Amino acid sequence: MTDQANLRAQTLIEALPYLRQFQGQTIVVKYGGHAMVDDDLKKSFALNVILLRAVGIYPVVVHGGGPQINRLLKALNITSDFVDGMRVTTPEVMDVVQMVLLGQVNTSIVGLINQHGGRAVGLSGHDGPLIRASRLQIAREKANDQPPEIVDIGLVGEPEKVDPQVLRALEHGNFIPVIAPVGVGPDGESLNINADLVAAAVAAGLRASKLILLTDTRGVLDGGGNLINELTPPQVGELMEAGVIKGGMIPKVSCCLEALEAGVEQAHIIDGRVPNALLLEIFTDQGVGTVFRAKGRR
């Protein structure tokens, strides 16, 4: 019993400088992957977010919902194609996207946090308005120096401007904002936006101390499959050129670098399958993923 008590005390002592450092700061968390499915991990995530707020840190949650959208589209027999990893979003598909993200996923996350003693409020880009977006265009290069082909993927957007006013009001009212990745287009239409992009844009708009992406991977791995604990932008460039960072990790790493360029102090890709991953990444020396910094530790 004495050893266990001492270990707990040491954990609290290790957390103390981080508690001091991030008190009063904003941390934006992209919530997704297995952490949104497993009941124990869902509870762990909710309690982690509540604890962050209780110690004076302002968490902001941005969530995805791709698997849930896929299930409902299949049930409704609506075809949904992808171009370069982006969902082609017709008006019919957009109706389903909003139905799932706002009516199902966002509501369930807000309810989960509130059930465990937090005070969460659900939002989309229309509230405030919080997220102004432009239509995302995909350009495909053509041979023989021909102009690139522009592929229309419908009601898909990319963040153009984040107005943090509504988020600041909620933060200072002791609420936890939970944001669905739907933006407002040039004509007031709803646009489907990748949740990682929204999280990076929100972190930049709030000048957050941290952007944290919860994933189903350990973080960025080296050529031998070992976790890389810390990276700077030049190191990322080298790993991309060497083909070490590849596939689905490229857009996540790119989001982290964009957040750093916009003034976010640190960005993280962490393993959301680990219980209490948020607390372990923020309040321990080792962490549970890869941290990106504009410059390495001194």
- Helix, strand, or coil here: 208? coil
- pTM summary value: 0.93
In a domain, residue 174? The reply is yes
In a domain, 15, yes or no: no
Q: Which residues of the chain have pLDDT under 50?
A: 298
CATH number at residue 284: 3.40.1160.10
Strands annotated E in 115-222: 120-123, 131-135, 138-140, 149-151, 157-162, 176-179, 182-184, 190-192, 210-215
**pLDDT for position 1:** 54
Tens-digit pLDDT profile for residues 214-247? 999 999 999 999 999 999 999 999 999 999 999 8
Q: Is residue 176 part of a domain?
A: yes
**Structural domain count of the chain:** 1
The one-letter amino acid at 42: K
Pair of tokens at residue 143: 């041979």
Residue with tokens 């522009």: 150
Q: Is residue 85 part of a domain?
A: yes
Residue of 207, 214, 210 whose CA lies nearest to 162: 207
Q: State the pLDDT at residue 39.
A: 93
Tell me how far apart the alpha carbons of residues 158 and 244 are, in angstroms, rounded to a whole number: 27
Residues spanned by the domain of 180: 25-293
Domain contains 149: yes
Structure confidence at residue 298 (pLDDT) = 35
**What mean pLDDT value characterizes the chain?**
92
Residue position matching structure tokens 């609506």: 78
Beta strands 149-151 and 138-140, pairing class: antiparallel
Closest by CA position to 149, among listed 87, 84, 193 = 84
Q: Is residue 16 in some structural domain?
A: no
Evaluate whether residue 29 is within a structural domain.
yes
In a domain, 18, yes or no: no
pLDDT at 8: 78
